[in-house]
Amino acid sequence: MPSTILAIESSCDDTSAAIMHDAKMLSLGVSGQKIHAQYGGVVPELASRAHQQQIVPVVDFVLKEAGLTPKDIDAVAFTQGPGLLGSLLVGTSFAKGFALAQNIPLISVNHMEAHILAHMIDDPKPSFPFICLTVSGGHTQIVLVNSPSDMIVLGETLDDAAGEAFDKTGKMMGLPYPAGPVIDRLAKEGQRLYSFPIPKIDGYNFSFSGLKTAIRNFLIKHIKEDADFIENHKEDISRSVQDIIIDILLIKLEKAARAYNIDQLAIAGGVSANSGLRARLEALCQENGWKSFIPAFRYCTDNAGMIAMAGHYKFENNAFVDQSITPQPRMKI
Ligand code: KG4
Ligand code: ZN
C-alpha cells in the first residue's frame, strides 16, 4: 500500500524534514545552524536550542511544499541515533508528539543506515549486495549492505572520522568551520607537493589521529622557516591533505571490494560531497570494471530525505516502535 511518510532528522546541527510518498520524495527542507562556525565546531547545547526553534517551521515548510496537511501523513520516521543526545531529543519528542496527535505509526531510524539508503532515493540505484564507504564528521565506516535491514560493518575508524580530519586540518590552517568544503575548493587550485604517511591498521579499520599529528608537525616546521607558509601555500597544502585522506579511504574500500567480491561501490555522508573523492572513486571503479554510486549533493550531508527512505522500508515491514522509544546517542548498525 502506498504510504506518505513525514521524516525528521536532528542528530547533529541540521534540522531537517522531508515527505516521501510511495518511495518518491515530495519535499525536503534543511535548516543549518550558522552559530557553530564562530566556535570552530558544533556546540551541543546551542544545537539543541536551535533545533527547538527550527523544527516547527521546517515541518510546516515541507508540508506546504508537498501541498499536504498533517492528516495526509500515514507514518512519522525520525533519527533515533547515533548523534548528540540534546539534538536527538528534539526530533524524537517532535515525532512522538506528531504520531500521537495524528494517531499514526512511529518509525525509528539509524542515522548511519539512512546515509547508506540515501542511494535508494534516485536512479541509478545499486542492487544488493553493495559496499558503502560512509564518511562524515562523526563516522567513517565500510559497510557490506546485503539489504535495507541487513548491513554488516566491515571496518570503522579507531579514532577521528574522515570529516574530522578535514575539519581539524582546516582549524590548524585557520580556515572556517566546517573546513571540508573549503579544503575541497582550495585543493582544486593546488598540487600534491607534500607527502604524509599512510597509517598501518589491520583489516578494514581506519585511523586519522596520526595524520593529524603529522600535519601539525609539518605546519609548525614550515611556519618556523616562513611565517606566511600557510597563506602562501594553502592550495598545495589542501590538495596534499585531501589526497592522503582519499588514499587512506580508498585503499581499504578497494581491499574490501576484492575480499568480498563486490563490484558495486558507494559513498555516503558529508565527505562524499568531496569532489576529489568522487573523481577518484569513479576512476577506481572504471579501472576495475566496477560500478560507482555517488549520491546527489542534497543527500550527502545530513538530511531527512534519507530518513524517509529508511522509514519507507520499515513501513513496508510494519517495523514500528511505540511511545516508550528514547534516543540512542551511540546507536550502532
Ligand atoms: O554527514 P554530515 O553532514 O554530518 C555528520 O553526520 O557528521 O558530515 C559533515 C562533514 C564535515 O566534517 C564536513 O567538513 C564534511 O562533512 N564535508 C566535506 C565536504 N562537504 C562536507 N569534506 C570534504 N569535502 C567536502 N566537499
Ligand atoms: Zn550524518
Q: What are the tens digits of pLDDT across the range 44-68?
A: 888 889 889 999 999 999 999 999 9
Q: Which of 16, 134, 166 most suits a substitution to test ligand 1, by most atoms within 8 Å of the C-beta?
A: 166
Do residues 186 and 240 make contact, with C-beta atoms less than 8 angstroms apart? no
Half-sphere exposure of 86 (CA within 13 A, CB side): 12
- The helix or strand, by DSSP H or E, that contains position 88, with its residue range, turns out to be helix 85-102
What's the whole-number average pLDDT of the chain?
96
Q: Which residue has the cell 513501513?
A: 315
Could you give the angle at the alpha carbon of 139 between the alpha carbons of 135 and 140, nearest 5°? 50
Do residues 89 and 47 make contact, with C-beta atoms less than 8 angstroms apart? no
pLDDT at position 47: 82
Residues having CB within 6 Å of any atom of ligand 1: 12, 136-138, 163, 166-167, 178-181, 184, 269-271, 273-274, 301-302
C-alpha 164/C-alpha 215 separation (Å) is 13
C-alpha 73/C-alpha 3 separation (Å) is 8
pLDDT in tens, 217-237: 999 999 999 999 999 999 999
Please state the rounded mean pLDDT for residues 291-296: 95
pTM strictly above 0.75: yes
The secondary structure of the chain in percent helix, strand, coil, rounded to multiples of 5, reads 50, 20, 30
Q: How far is the CA of 256 from the centre of ligand 1 (A)?
A: 23
pLDDT at position 43: 78
Q: Residue 101 above 80 pLDDT?
A: yes
Q: Which of 84, 186, 301, 333 most suits a substitution to test ligand 1, by most atoms within 8 Å of the C-beta?
A: 301
pLDDT at position 38: 78
Burial (0-12, 13-18, 19+ Cβ within 10 Å), 284:
middle
Q: What ligand 1 atom has the least distance to the C-alpha of 301?
A: 3
Q: How many residues does the chain have?
A: 333
Please state the rounded mean pLDDT for residues 116-145: 97
Half-sphere exposure of 123 (CA within 13 A, CB side): 0
Please state the rounded mean pLDDT for residues 262-280: 97
Do residues 17 and 3 make contact, with C-beta atoms less than 8 angstroms apart? no
C-alpha 84/C-alpha 93 separation (Å) is 14
Half-sphere exposure of 192 (CA within 13 A, CB side): 11
Please state the rounded mean pLDDT for residues 185-193: 98
pLDDT at position 48: 82
Q: What ligand 1 atom has the least distance to the C-alpha of 242?
A: 23
Please indicate whether residue 265 or residue 39 has the higher confidence score (pLDDT).
Answer: 265
- Domains in the chain, start-ordered, CATH in brackets? 4-116+300-316 (3.30.420.40), 125-294 (3.30.420.40)
pLDDT at position 84: 93
Half-sphere exposure of 289 (CA within 13 A, CB side): 2
pLDDT at position 12: 86
pLDDT at position 41: 78
Measure CA 51 to chain center: 18
pLDDT in tens, 107-127: 999 999 999 999 999 999 999
Q: How far is the CA of 269 from the centre of ligand 2 (A)?
A: 6
N-to-C CA span, the chain: 28
